Chains A and B, each alone.
Chain A
Amino acid sequence: MTDNASVSRQICGNFANDKGRLMDILLGVQAQAGCVAPEALDEIAKSLSMSRVEVESAATFYAFFSGAPRGRFVIRLCNDIIDQLHGMDRIVAAFRAELGIEFGQTTPDGLFSLEYTPCIGMSDQAPALLINSTVVTKVSTDMVHEIVQTLRVSKNLEQLKLTLGDGNNSHPLVRSMVNNNLRERGAVVFAPYTPGVALQRALSEQPVELIRIVKASRLRGRGGAGFPTGMKWEFTRAAAGERKFIVCNADEGEPGTFKDRVILTEAPGLMFEGMTIAGYAIGASEGIVYLRGEYAYLLPYLEDVLAKRRAAGLLGRDILGKSGFKFDIRIQLGAGAYVCGEETALLSSCEGKAGNPKTRPPFPAQKGYLDMPTVINNVETHCAAARIVENGPTWFTSMGTKSSSGTKVFSVSGDCSRPGVYEIPFGITVEELLTHVGASDTIAVQVGGASGRMIGPSEFNRPFCFDHLATGGSVMVFGKGRDLLAISHAFMDFFVEESCGYCTPCRAGTRLLQERLGRFLTGQAESADLDYLEKTGKTVKTASRCGLGQTAANPILGTLQSFRPEYERRIKTNGSVFLPSFDPRKAVAVASSIAGRESEQFGTQKGGVKQ
Chain B
Amino acid sequence: MANKPKLATVSLAGCFGCHMSVLDIDDRILELIELVEFDRSPINDIKEIKGRCAVGIVEGGCCNEENVHVLKHFREHCDVLISTGDCATMGGIPALRNTIPLQECLEEAYLKGPTVYNPRGKLPNDPEIPLLLDKVYPCHEVVKMDYHLPGCPPSADTLWQALVALLTGKPIALPYELIKYD
Contact = CB atoms under 8 A, between A and B. Distances in A.
A589 B65 CA distance: 11
Interface string B101-145: 011001000000000000000010101001111110100011110
Given A588-B131, A589-B134, A599-B131, A594 B141 contact: no
B106 A594 contact: yes
Contacts of B146: none
Interface string B143-169: 110000000000000000000000000
Interface in A273-331: none
Nearest to A528: B144
B103 A594 contact: yes
Given A588-B65, A596-B125, A599-B131, A582 B141 contact: yes
Contacts of A591: 64, 102, 131-134
Contacts of B131: 588, 591-592, 595, 597, 599-600
Nearest to A582: B142
A578 B134 contact: no
B28 interface: no
B66 A601 contact: yes
A577 B72 contact: yes
Given A587-B137, A590-B102, A601 B143 contact: no
B52 interface: no
A578 to B, nearest CB: 6
A456 interface: no
B48 interface: no
A600 B130 contact: yes
Contacts of B64: 591
Contacts of A587: 65, 68, 133-135, 137
B75 interface: yes
Interface string A425-440: 0000000000000000
Nearest to B102: A590
A594 B123 contact: yes
B76 interface: yes
Given A584-B68, A588-B133, A600-B65, A594 B143 contact: no
A156 interface: no
A579 interface: yes
Contact of A597 (B127, B132, B142): B127
Contacts of B65: 584, 587-588, 599-602
Contact count band on A: 20 to 34
A355 B69 CA distance: 49
Interface residues of B, number: 25
Contact of B125 (A582, A597, A600): A597
B88 to A, nearest CB: 15
A581 interface: yes
A594 B102 contact: yes
Contacts of B127: 597, 600
A200 B72 CA distance: 80
Interface in B52-82: 64-66, 68-69, 72, 75-76
B141 A579 contact: yes
Contacts of A581: 141
Given A591-B102, A594-B102, A599-B65, A578 B72 contact: yes
Contact of A578 (B123, B125, B133, B142): B142
Nearest to B65: A601
B102 A579 contact: no
B125 A590 contact: no
A588 B65 CA distance: 7
A592 B133 CA distance: 9
A595 B125 contact: yes
A582 B145 CA distance: 14
Contacts of A577: 72, 75-76, 143
Contact of A579 (B66, B69, B106, B144): B144
A582 B164 CA distance: 32
Centre residue among A590, A591, A602 by max chain B CB count within 10 A: A591
A512 to B, nearest CB: 13
Most-contacted residue by chain A among B75, B76, B103, B133 (CB, 10 A): B133
B97 to A, nearest CB: 12
Given A581-B141, A582-B142, A595-B125, A590 B72 contact: no
Interface string A570-611: 000000011101101011111110111101111000000000
A579 B68 CA distance: 12
Given A594-B123, A595-B125, A582 B76 contact: no
B133 to A, nearest CB: 4
A590 B103 contact: yes
Nearest to A602: B65
Nearest to B141: A582
A600 B70 CA distance: 13
B49 to A, nearest CB: 14
A584 B63 CA distance: 11
A592 B68 CA distance: 15
Contacts of B143: 577-579, 582
B104 to A, nearest CB: 11
A193 B63 CA distance: 70
A594 B65 CA distance: 15
B182 to A, nearest CB: 23
A597 B66 CA distance: 15
Contacts of B144: 579
Contact of B142 (A579, A592, A596, A602): A579
Contacts of B72: 577-578
Nearest to A592: B131
A600 B123 CA distance: 18
Contacts of A578: 72, 142-143
Contacts of B125: 595-597
Contacts of A599: 65, 131
A214 B135 CA distance: 61
B84 to A, nearest CB: 19
Interface in B19-77: 64-66, 68-69, 72, 75-76
B68 A601 contact: yes
A397 B141 CA distance: 58
B58 to A, nearest CB: 14
A581 B138 CA distance: 13
A602 B64 CA distance: 11
Interface centre among B123, B127, B132, B137 (most CB of A within 10 A): B132
A588 B66 CA distance: 11
9 contacts: A577-B76, A579-B143, A579-B144, A587-B134, A588-B133, A590-B102, A591-B131, A600-B65, A600-B131
Interface of B: 64-66, 68-69, 72, 75-76, 102-103, 106, 123, 125, 127, 130-135, 137, 141-144
Given A579-B144, A584-B65, A597-B127, 13 more contacts: A577-B72, A579-B141, A581-B141, A582-B142, A587-B68, A588-B132, A588-B134, A591-B64, A591-B102, A592-B131, A597-B125, A600-B130, A600-B131
Interface of A: 577-579, 581-582, 584, 586-592, 594-597, 599-602
**Closest 9 pairs between A and B when the two form their complex, measured CB to CB:** A591-B131, A587-B133, A601-B65, A591-B132, A601-B69, A588-B131, A582-B142, A577-B75, A590-B102
